[in-house]
Amino acid sequence: MLPTSKVGAGGATFLEALFTATSAVCVTGLIVVDTPVYWTGGGHAIILALIQLGGFGIMSFASLLGLLLARRMGLRSRVSAAAETRSVGFGDVRNVLLGVLRITLVVEFVTAVVLAVRFALRYGYSPAEAVWLGVFHSVSAFNNAGFALFSDNLIGYVGDPWICLPVCAAVIIGGLGFPVLFELRRHVRYPRRWHTTTKLVLGGTVILLVVGTVFITAVEWSNPATLGALRPEDRLLAGFFQSTMTRTAGFNSVDFAQLNPVTLLAMDVLMFIGGGPAGTAGGLKITTFGVLFFILYTEISGGTAVNVFGKRLPRSTHRQAISIVLLAVGLVITATMFLMLTTDFGLDRVLFEVVSAFATVGLSTGITAAIPPAGQVVLILVMFAGRLGPVTLASALALRSKPLYFEYPKERPLIG
C-alpha cells in the first residue's frame, strides 16, 4: 500500500494490495490491476519477493511434512517406508531445505539466462531490462505464479519458442514436486525403484499434457480469435503452452476471453487436478486423482484391494483422497454460486475464475477486476483454501488416526 509501490499519486487501496499480495504469496497470478502499468519497479520487486517466499515456503512445508509424519511413525513403519523407497527417507530438515534451495536456484537461473538472452537479442531490450524480465518471469514460472510484466501477459510471444518453451519447462519442473525431483536425481536410470508417488506424478503429467494439448489445439484450431490466425506450427506451440499453464501457472499466450466454452470447461478439469504434491503446483494433485482412478478401476473390475503399480493402497489413503475431493468440490460450488449471485457473468466464466483461484492457477477470462469487492474477498479466501487446504487436510487426517476398540455391525445401503 506504500505510495512508492504504485505509479502516480497515492497508494493502492487496501483490497487491491491485499488481493495482489495474496495472489503472489499463494503463487496464483490472478490480478485486479494491470501489473506492469499499475505498480512501480519497487512494487514489482515486492511481488517477486512474495512469489519466491511463497513458493519456497510452501515447498519447504510440504516436503518437511513428510518428515513430520515419518517421525510420528513407529520404527517398523519407518523401516518399511525406507525399504519401499530404497532410501533412508527424505533426510533431515537441513538437507531437505538445501535440496529445495538448490533445485530452485538452478532452474530459475537457467530459465532466466535463456529468457534474458532472447529478450536482449531478439526484442532489443537493454541488458538491464532483459535481465530483469528474465529473472521476474523465470521466478514466476518456476513457482507456478503466472505474474507477467506485460499488459497482455505473453500473448505478444505466442509464436516464439525461445520464450514459451523455457517458461513451460520451468512450470513443469516446479509442478512435479520436490519428492519426485529428489528421487529422479537418485534413481533416474532405475524406474523400478521409483516410489508410487513418482510413478503417478510422471505418468499423470505426461498424459494430462498430451491430452490437454491435443484437445485445446483441436477445438481452437479454427477459432480466428485464438489459434486460427496463427501458422500451423505456432498453433501447436500455443496449444501446448495453454495446456502446460493449466498445470497451475497463470501465463497465457492467447486471449482466454475468446476461448470456446468447451475449452474453458476442459481447462477447469485440468486446473482442478493440478500438479504434483510437495511442489509449487496447486490443484488437488495428480496423486489424489490417481488414487481415485484406481479405486474406480478396482470397483468396476470387481477387485477387493486397490493396487497401484504392484503396491496395495491402505484404506486410509482411499478416505483421504475422497474427503479432499468432496470438500474441494463443495468449496468451488459454493464460491461459484456466490459470484453468480453478485455478478452478471455466465457460469462458464465464473466457474473458470473460481477453479483458477482454488487451484492457484491464475488464468482468467478477464473478469477479475470487474468482480465486486465482496466477490474479490471470496476469491482471496478461495486462493488461501486452495493453497493450504488440501495439504493441511491431508496432514490432519493422517495425524488424527485413532485406534478403534469396537466396530458397529455392518449394514449396506443401496448405492446407485
The confidence score (pLDDT) of residue 90 equals 45
Residue type, 151: S
SS3 160: coil
Among the listed residues 5, 6, 51, the one whose alpha carbon sits nearest the alpha carbon of residue 362: 51
**Residue linked to cell 503452452:** 241
Among the listed residues 44, 50, 42, the one whose alpha carbon sits nearest the alpha carbon of residue 4: 42
**Residue linked to cell 504434483:** 276
**DSSP single-letter state for residue 283:** S
Packed helices 178-187 and 93-123: angle between N→C axes, nearest 10 degrees: 90
d(CA 183, CA 91) in angstroms, rounded, equals 12
Q: Which residues of the chain have pLDDT under 70?
A: 58-97, 390-402
> Are 280 and 143 contacting, i.e. CB atoms less than 8 angstroms apart?
yes
The confidence score (pLDDT) of residue 310 equals 86
Specify if 184 maps to a domain.
yes
For residue 83, the enclosing domain spans 3-399
Q: CA-based angle 391:397:398, to the nearest 5?
A: 90
Specify if 290 maps to a domain.
yes
d(CA 105, CA 319) in angstroms, rounded, equals 37
Specify if 413 maps to a domain.
no
Specify if 350 maps to a domain.
yes
Specify if 405 maps to a domain.
no
> What number of CA atoms fall less than 13 Å from residue 89's CA on the CB side?
20
26, with CB counted inside 10 A (0-12, 13-18, 19+), is buried
Specify if 36 maps to a domain.
yes
Model confidence, pTM: 0.87
The confidence score (pLDDT) of residue 282 equals 86
> Are 101 and 56 contacting, i.e. CB atoms less than 8 angstroms apart?
yes
The confidence score (pLDDT) of residue 87 equals 40
Specify if 414 maps to a domain.
no
Based on the structure, what is the number of domains in the chain? 1
Specify if 410 maps to a domain.
no
The shares of helix, strand and coil residues in the chain, as percent rounded to the nearest 5, are: 70, 0, 30
The confidence score (pLDDT) of residue 75 equals 41
The confidence score (pLDDT) of residue 177 equals 85
d(CA 171, CA 179) in angstroms, rounded, equals 16
Residue 348 backbone phi and psi in degrees, to 5:
-60, -45
